[in-house]
Amino acid sequence: MPPSSRSTSPVPASASPSEPEYRIEDLAHRSGATVRTIRAYQDKGLLPKPERRGRANVYDDSHLARLRQIADLLERGYTLASIKELLQAWDEGRGLGGVLGLVAEVDGPWTDEESGRISRAELDELFGGEYDEAAVSEAVALGVLEPLPGREDEFRVPSPQELSVAAELHKAGVPLLAITEQLRELRGQVEHIAARFLDFTNEHVFVRYLGAHLSDVDASEAADLVRRLRPLAQQTVEAELARAMHKFAARNLRDHLRSAAAAPASAARGGTGRIEPVRLPAETVEAVRELVGEARVPDFIAAAAEREVGARAMDRMTAERG
């Protein structure tokens, strides 16, 4: 989310004696914030403490301007933690323009996917009419669904694609709780990859920007680097996942085909032998046996399957080229 054209220069924490003074109730009325919010901002270090005069706390225009600025940054999507860092950067004498840009790049969305909404009835229909409160609770705990305040039967969906994947897996026969458990495990592994990628880029790219005093120019340069490097992690993971899926899926298929081809003829013909994951027609197994001999049946079938996969891949690449 890029910074807006509105002024974002924070005001100094102190004010001159000639400025107006406010009680906390007056400050709340003028700023639009509640008294509770003002006190919370003070506790979090976002707002300077008021001046104590006798038994009263006195605020001034610097507090009013700071509250309005916090409201402006919140409206533009910054978190309170980011706002605190921005204000601290200003109070320490560092430029704010570059820091704002850097925070906008890091705190902004890391995907082009737009969130959506779904009702409880639509959710049940998406998953085949199955009502599973435990699975919904798990999805909420994982952040796949976010309850909307004041709407008990409606959810925000941060990633509609992720929810769609879960629905397709369920249609394929995967239990709902097994899907959420798999997502929980996958998320831990992906977060480990993300942390390693950040460590790598910090060590080799951002190390010169990690000092205590980040100038406006340095912050702008770092923001530009984040913008350029942001897609690299996703592109790398997608490429490596595709490679790994091809490798292990092909291996898995070969193993199943070898297992089926090596089954006794009686089992292949529907006898009482052990049930194999993949069942080849008895006629096919017999034809291959006559062609290459008993010992080489599994390897021949696996090689034939691998050649078919390769041929289809070449056909696909040719079609895409045309």
For the stretch 78-118, pLDDT in tens is 788 888 877 776 666 555 566 666 766 776 678 888 889 99
The confidence score (pLDDT) of residue 3 equals 41
Grade residue 186 by pLDDT with cuts at 50, 70 and 90.
very high
Which residues fall within 8 angstroms of residue 189, CB to CB, at 6 or more apart?
Answer: none
Give the C-alpha separation, 301 to 285, whole Å.
Answer: 9
The confidence score (pLDDT) of residue 192 equals 92
What CA–CA distances, in Å, run from 160 to 115, 118, 144, 173?
6, 9, 9, 20
Give the C-alpha separation, 148 to 261, whole Å.
Answer: 55
Burial of 100: CB neighbours in 10 Å, binned 0-12, 13-18, 19+ = buried
Give the C-alpha separation, 169 to 42, whole Å.
Answer: 48
Partnered with residue 116 across adjacent β-strands are 157
What average pLDDT does this structure show over 73-81?
Answer: 81
